[in-house]
Structure 1
Amino acid sequence: MLRTSSYTIYVDLPSSTDEMLLVHGYTGAYNKVSRRVATYLRSLEVKAPPKPLYGDWTPEPAINGEITPPAEATIELLKKRGYLTKMTPEEEEAFFVKLATKLHHFQKRLMPTYVFMPTYSCNLRCPYCFQDHMRTDPAYKHLLTRMSPEVVDRIFAAMPGIEAAHGVAEDADLPRNITLFGGEPLLAENRSTIEYILERAFASGKANFSAITNGTELEAYQDLLAPDKISWLQITLDGVPQEHDKRRIYADGKGSYERIAQNITRALDLGVRVAVRMNIDRNNVNKLPDLADEIVARGWNKYKGFQAYTAVVTASNGKTEVKTTLNSWELDLKLNSLRQEHPNMRVIERPDDGLMAGVREIFAENREPINSFKASFCAAHNKMYVFDPFGDIYACWEKTGDPKIRIGHITEDSQVILNEELNQTWRNRTIVSNPVCRKCRYSFSCGGGCAAVAMSNKGKFYTNYCDGFAHRFRASVAEAYLDYVAGTEVEERQELLCPV
C-alpha cells in the first residue's frame, strides 16, 4: 500500500498561501509543491511523529483543505523523491537505520581530529563555566598542572597508531587538525608547552592549528599567531564592557574586556581568523545591540577573517539557573527581532545562520544535500581525541578531568590503551541509538543533539537533545528559499569547531 514516508518534512512559506516546501529526511530531496499536494501527502500518513525523550519540540504545521489526488505524473515524482513509499513504517525505519549506520561507519574512517589540553588551569572565574569546580574545589587541585614535553612526545608517537585504527594510510599525506583547549591553553606560562606542540606537529608533517582561548594573554604568542601557525581563534565576549566584566572576571573580581578586545585586534592584524563567541542568556541578550555597535566601532567586521556568533548558556553547573537560559530557537527569534530594530546586529550571527547558508547552497545547486548529513552530533562520536596534561584521552572536551570517564590513556611507551566499553559508548551514540531519533524526520540534519547537554539535563547519555530543532529547521529552510528567490547574496562564513 502506498503511504507517505515517515521522514517527510513540510515547510510553510510565509510569502505564499498556495505553496509550501517538502523536504525528505534521508533522500535529501527539496521540492516546492501546492498545498493541495501537501494535503494529499498528509492524508496518507499512518503515524504521528514521535515525541522527544528530552528537549523542546514543535508539532508539524496543520494542513487543512479538501483531499484531492494529484496527477499520476506528480505521484510518480513524489515516489521518486521519496515522499511516497510502499515500505511499511517498520521497514522504512530499518532502511533508515541501515543508511545511518553506513554513514556513521564512513565518518569514523576519516582522519581523526586532535585536541590538546596543555592545562586545566585558567586565569578567569566565569560563573557559568562547566569546569568551575576544577579551580574552586581543593579536591581538584591536583589537576592544575601543565603538560610536560614528555607527554607531548608520547602523544605524537601514538598518533600514527590512532590514525591506522581509523583506516588512514601511513602515506596519506593528510594534515593533522589540532585544537588547543583548556582550562586556558594560551596562558603566558604555557608558552614553552605550546611552542613545543607546534614544533612536534610540523616536524611530523602538515598541520592546522586552532585554539579555544579567553584571549587575555595573546601578547605572549605574537610570533605564533599566523596563517601558517595558530591560524584560528575562538574568543568569548559576553557583551559590552560593563556586561562582560560582570561575567568573565579574574580571580580578584576584575574585568577582562579591554585586554581581550585589544588582543582580538592584535590577532586580526596578524592575519589570524577570529570567531568571537557570545554566551547568551536572558540576562544579557538585550545588550547585544550595544556589542554589535562596539564591533563596528572597532572595525572588526571589516576584517575578512572575523566572525561573531551567539551560543546559548546551558545550566551545566550549580551556579546557573535554568530559568535564566534560552534554547537556540528562542535565541534565534530574539535575534531576528533585534535585527529589525538595530541594523548593526547583522554583524552577529544567529545560531542557525550556518544551517540556512547550507540550505541556500542546496537551492543554488552548489551542494548535494546528503553531503551535509550527520549520523551523529559531533566528532566526539566518531573521530575526536582529547589529550589532557596527564596523557589521558577523552572523547569530548566538555567531559574531561575524571579518569572514570576517560576513553583511554597513553602509556609511557606511547601505547594507546582504550577503555573499550567507554570508548564504544561515546563512538556509538548516533541517530539510531535511541528510539526517538531513529524515527525522527530531522535526524540526518540534527545529529541527535549534544550528548554532554543531554547528560547534564537528564543524566542519560543516549537520550536526544532536540533544542527546538524542528522549528529551527523549518524556519531556516523557508528563509533560505525566500533569500534564494530574491537573489540575496550569500555571506561567507566560517565553520565552527563545536556546534553548541
Structure 2
Amino acid sequence: MRVSSYVIGAPLSDERFYLLLHGIRGTLDKVPARTGAFLVENRGKPLVSPPWDSDDRARAHLTERGYLTDLPEENERQLLVEVATALHDAALALRPPSFFFVPAYTCNLRCPYCFQPHEMHAGRGVYAKIMSHEQVDDAFRVIDHFDRPGALAEHLDLSQEGQGTADSGSVRRGALGLFGGEPLQEQTRDVIGHIARRAAERGATLRAVTNAVQLDLFTDLLGPDGLAELQITLDGMSDLHDRRRVGPRFRKTFQRIVDNIDLALARGARVMVRVNVDRSNADELARMNAFFLERGWGSHRAFSAEAAVVTGDAGRETLVTRPELVEVLDTIRADQESCLASYEGYAHGVLSRALSGRYPFTQVANCGAETGMLMFDPRGDVYSCWDEVGFAEHRVGTYHGGTLHLDHEAARAWLSRFPGAIDQCSRCPYALIHTSGCAKQARDNTGSLFAAACEGFQSYFPRTLATIYEQVESCLLGEAERPGPRPPTRTLPIVDVTHGRTRPPRDEVLR
C-alpha cells in the first residue's frame, strides 16, 4: 500500500480541515488536517506510520476514494495515460474544428509589449495584403467541408478505430472568429462586411479579438446575430492605459474604447474585457475593478472581465507570475466586491462538476489548437496557433480555390499533444486539470511541442481550489453571501497572455 501519486490537497482556513482532490479519480473530500497534510507530503511514497494508523474505517475510505492504492507507480501512471487518451480521442472525434479569419496583419495600435513585429502592424512587405472577397469565399468552402465533429482528425488519419465521427451532415453553425493584427479597423470594413454576410447565410455569428478603437465603424454588425462576442483590452485607467495602448493616429484610446464597450453592450453583444498584467499596472487592478462596477458593467449579464499575465520576452524584470496575480486578486476580493476574474477559473470548473456528482475532468486540450483550429490569413496561409499567425515557418498549410492543403506532419503534431503523450505530464497530479499548459510556450522553452509548460500551476491551484470551496460551503450553509467574482457562466473562458498578447483559452473560443 502506498499514497497515490495523484493526490492534490490544500489546507482550509479552518485549521482542523484539509481539502483533497484525486487527480485521476476526481474524488473530492474534506478530511482532518493531519490526514490531508500527510497524504500530500507523502504523495507517491509507501504508507508508513499514517496519522490514522489504528482507524480501519479511515484507511478503507481513503483507499476507496483512491488516495491510497495498491497499484505500482507505473501502473497508476498508465491509468492516467488511459484516461487522458480516452478524453483526447473523444475530443478529436466529437468536436468540430474552430475557424478564424485574419483579414489583415495591420493594426492601428503599436502597443509596446505586443509580440507581433511592428512591420506586421505597419503593413510592410508581405504583411501589406488585405483579405479579398475571393479568399473569404475560398475559406468558407474549406469551412463547409470541415465543419463537422471529427472532420479534421479524420482528414489527418487520427480517428481511432471504433471511435467513429458524427454524421457528415451535422453542422455546428456556431461562431466564427476574427483575429489580426487588428480585425476591426477602417481598412477591413468591406471584407468584414462580406465575412458577416457569408456567416449569416450559414446561420453563424462572429466573435472577435479586437482593440475596439474603431469598433464604432461596425455598429451595424454589432449584436447577437452578427458580431456577437468581443474580447477587448483595457490595461489600466486612462492615464496608464493611454501610455500602453497607443497608435500613430490614436494617442489617447481609453475613453474611445470605453465608449465602444458601452456601444457593444447596448447592441446586445457579449464583451469580455482583458487586462494584460505586468508590474507596471498590477496596482491598477483594484481601480479597474471599481471602475467596471461603477460603470455598471459588473452587473451586466453580457459582460465579464479577466486579468492575465504578460509572459514571454516583454522584459522579464517587469513580469508578474500567475501565482502573484492570483494573490493580488485575492487581496482585492478581501477588500471589495469584485467582478474581475483570473486563473481561479480552473478551480471553479473542477469544483462545480465534482460537487454536482459529475466527473470533474472533461478535456485534455489546453486550447483549440490541440483539437483543431484553422486560421485563414490574407496570404493564403493556414495556422493552428494564435501566437504563430503571420510567421510562415509555422504555418500548417495553405488554402486556395476552396481547397485546404495541409502539412500533415505539422498539423498532426498539434492534434497529437495531450498529457498522456508527455511523460512529465503523465506523472503529474494536475495533468487532467492544467492539461500540459501552452504548447507554444513549451516549444519556445524546449524546442518541442511535446513538453510541459507548468506556468506556476502547482503553486496557485491548490489555494484557489480551497478558497472557492470555502466560498461555496459558506453559501450552502447560509453563513455568508458568496464573495469573489461571479461564477464562470460566460462563454469566454480563462486564457493566457503570452509575448504581451492574449492567447487561446483552454477551449477554442476567444483567447
The two structures have a TM-score, normalised by structure 2, of 0.86
**Equivalent position of 2:25 in the other structure:** 27
The letter for the 1-side match of 2:461 is F
Supply the distance in 1 between the matched residues of 2:42 and 2:264 (Cα, whole angstroms): 57
Unaligned runs of 5+ in 1: 49-62
What residue in structure 2 maps to residue 452 of structure 1? 440
SS at match of 1:243: helix
Give the CA deviation at 1:458: 4.8
Query: What corresponds to 1:299 in structure 2?
Result: 296
Contact residue 344 and residue 461 of structure 2 kept, 8 A = no
Partner residue in 2 for 1:347: 339
Aligned equivalents of 1:77, 1:47: Cα separation in 2: 19
In the other structure, the counterpart of 2:331 is: 337
Please state how far the C-alpha of 1:460 moved relative to its aligned partner. Answer: 4.0
> Paired residue for 1:117?
102
In 2, distance between residues paired with 1:264 and 1:244?
Answer: 15
SS in 2 for 1:302: coil
1:474 aligned to which of 462, 470, 486: 462
Q: Does 1:216 align with 2:208?
A: no
Offset at residue 401 of structure 1 (A): 1.1
What is the letter of the counterpart of residue 265 of structure 2?
A: L
Per-residue CA deviation, residues 100-130 of structure 1 (Å, 9 max, x unaligned), is: 1121111112111111111111000001111
- In the alignment, does 2:143 pair up with 1:146? no
Distance 1:492 1:44 in 2: 33
Q: Secondary structure at the match of 1:432?
A: helix
Aligned residues: 473
Cα shift at 1:193: 1.0
SS of equivalent residue, structure 2 residue 134: helix
What's the CA shift string for 1:381-432, capped at 9, x where partnerless?
11211111123111111111122211111132x2221111111221222112
Q: How far did residue 334 of structure 1 move?
A: 1.6
- How far apart in 2 are the matches of 1:158 and 1:23? 43
Amino acid at match of 1:272: A
Q: 1:188 to 1:200 in 2, by over 3 A?
A: same
Classify 1:430/1:43 alpha carbon distance in 2 versus 1 (closer, same or farther; 3 Å): closer
- Code of the residue aligned with 2:22 in structure 1: it is H
Distance 1:248 1:73, change over 3 A: same
* Cα displacement string for residues 283-338 of structure 1 (whole angstroms, at most 9, x for unaligned residues): 1111222223332333222322111110111134xxx2101001111111122223
Alignment of 1:374-393 (within 5 A): 374-393=363-382
**Unmatched runs of 5 consecutive residues or more in structure 2:** 154-164, 476-480, 497-511
TM-superposed deviation, 1:244: 0.5
What residue identity is the alignment partner of 1:358? G
1:195 corresponds to 2:193: yes
Q: Secondary structure at the match of 1:307?
A: strand
User: Which one-letter code corresponds to 2:467 in the other structure?
Assistant: E
Is 1:97 the counterpart of 2:81? The answer is yes
RMSD (Å), alpha carbons: 2.5
Determine what percentage of the aligned residue pairs are the same residue: 32
* Counterparts of 1:42 and 1:470, CA distance in 2: 12
What is aligned with 1:51? Answer: none
Whole-Å separation in 2 of the counterparts to 1:452 and 1:71: 48
Aligned to 2:238: 241
Q: For the Cα contact (< 8 Å) 2:343–2:494, is it kept in 1?
A: no
Asked whether 1:327 is paired with 2:327, we answer no
* Residues 47 and 426 of structure 1, relative CA distance in 2, 3 Å threshold: farther
CA distance in 2, matches of 1:248, 1:334: 23
Q: Are residues 112 and 326 of structure 1, via their aligned partners in 2, closer, same or farther at CA, if it must alter by over 3 Å?
A: same
Matches within 5 A, 1:14-53: 14-16=13-15, 18-38=16-36, 41=39, 45-47=43-45
1:39–1:67 CA contact under 8 A, matched in 2? no
Q: Give 1:87's aligned amino acid.
A: L
**Mapped contact 2:200–2:225 kept (Cα < 8 A):** no
Question: Is 1:128 matched up with 2:108?
Answer: no
Q: 1:434 aligns with which of 422, 425, 429?
A: 422
State how far apart, in whole Å, the 1-side matches of 2:59 and 2:294 are.
Answer: 56
Shift in Å, 1:173: 4.0
Q: Is the 8 A contact 2:26 2:354 kept in 1?
A: no
Provide the C-alpha distance between the structure 2 equivalents of 1:498 and 1:45, rounded to a whole number of angstroms: 29
SS of 1:463's equivalent? Answer: coil
Paired residue secondary structure (1:227): coil
Structure 2 distance, partners of 1:136, 1:153, is 25
Shift of 1:245: 0.7
Is the partner of 2:187 in helix, strand or coil? helix
Q: State the one-letter code of the partner of 1:369.
A: Y
Shift, 1:32, TM fit: 1.3
CA contact (8 A) 2:206 2:229 kept: yes
